[in-house]
Amino acid sequence: MTMGVQFACDTEWRMNGHVKSMQFMEPATTLLSLLLVMAFDSTRTVAASRNQQCGNSLQQTFKLTRLIQKESVNLIKTYKASQGEMSELFCKVSVNNVPDPNISGMEPSERIVSIYTHLQDFFPHFKRVYEQQTDLQSPTSPLLRELSRVSAHSRSLVALISSFYQSLFPNLPLPEPAGGPTTLPPPQNVFQQKVYGCVVLKTYKELLSNVSRELRTLKSKVCRRRIQINTLF
């Protein structure tokens, strides 16, 4: 009888201890779950914030590209109007040494680098066209003003693309300019200068169209993909 009472007491004591242990574990488990949820929400908030920054930066870059694209259309019109007779034929002549307007690369990082380098490839040509047209136009020519404006806006675009790239790929530095001599045409007569200038401007407009199209594609490939990856983890 005594052993039965003792067994019952021991059993009750163990049960009470188990219940108390469970009572202690429930708040701890709840707290851990709450902390996990908070950490997950915080990660999603940071991911959403980063994606918004990605989208905003890309949108700003796209808007400037579209602006320069419109300016380049007007620039070509002004250029043709200032060149006199046969101006419509100037842009149809084939010219060597003008940069390629096509974007290259397989990965988004490579294609952004291609945009970055292609835009810069045109800067020496813009400078040459401006110098040539300075000799052919009056100092108050609207062509010279428009050339300067497009060139300045293009340099701002390069800066935006550099910033956008570095925010996406901080461990992949942008390549520095090669530093070698830029391939520019040899001395030209007036007719050749007029042809060269028109081809440079027309090709640059093609590049801007390609850049604009590429930025639309990058938005879905880069910014939205970052949302999915960050949400999953």
Q: What is the pLDDT of residues 50-94, one digit of tens each?
A: 567 787 889 999 999 999 999 999 999 999 999 988 888 888 888
Whichever domain contains 69, its CATH number is 1.20.1250.10
Place of tokens 């579209």: 66
The pLDDT assigned to 46 comes to 43
State what percent of residues in the chain have pLDDT above 70: 71
14 occurs within a structural domain: no
For 108-148, the pLDDT digits (tens) are 999 999 999 999 999 999 999 999 999 999 999 999 999 99
For 8-46, the pLDDT digits (tens) are 555 555 555 555 555 555 666 666 655 555 554 544 444
Q: Strand, coil or helix: what is 37?
A: helix
159 occurs within a structural domain: yes
Residue ranges making up the domain that contains 100: 51-222
- Best-predicted range by mean pLDDT (121-125, 164-168, 172-176): 121-125
Rounded to the nearest 10 degrees, how much is the dihedral formed by the CA atoms of 65, 214, 172, 162? Answer: 0
How sure is the predictor about 174, in pLDDT bands with cuts at 50, 70 and 90? confident
The pLDDT assigned to 158 comes to 96
Sorted by sequence, the CB contacts under 8 Å of residue 169 that are 6+ apart come out as 109
The pLDDT assigned to 38 comes to 56
Place of tokens 């940069």: 99
110 occurs within a structural domain: yes
184 occurs within a structural domain: yes
Residue 119: C-alpha distances to residues 32, 154, 157, 211, 212 (Å): 53, 7, 9, 9, 12
What φ, ψ does residue 138 adopt, rounded to 5°? -75, 155
Rounded to the nearest 10 degrees, how much is the dihedral formed by the CA atoms of 120, 124, 130, 132? Answer: -150
Residue 95: C-alpha distances to residues 52, 109, 129, 200, 211 (Å): 43, 31, 14, 9, 22
33 occurs within a structural domain: no
The pLDDT assigned to 231 comes to 38
156 occurs within a structural domain: yes
40 occurs within a structural domain: no
Domain count for the chain, please give it.
Answer: 1
* Model confidence at 49: pLDDT above 50: yes
154 occurs within a structural domain: yes
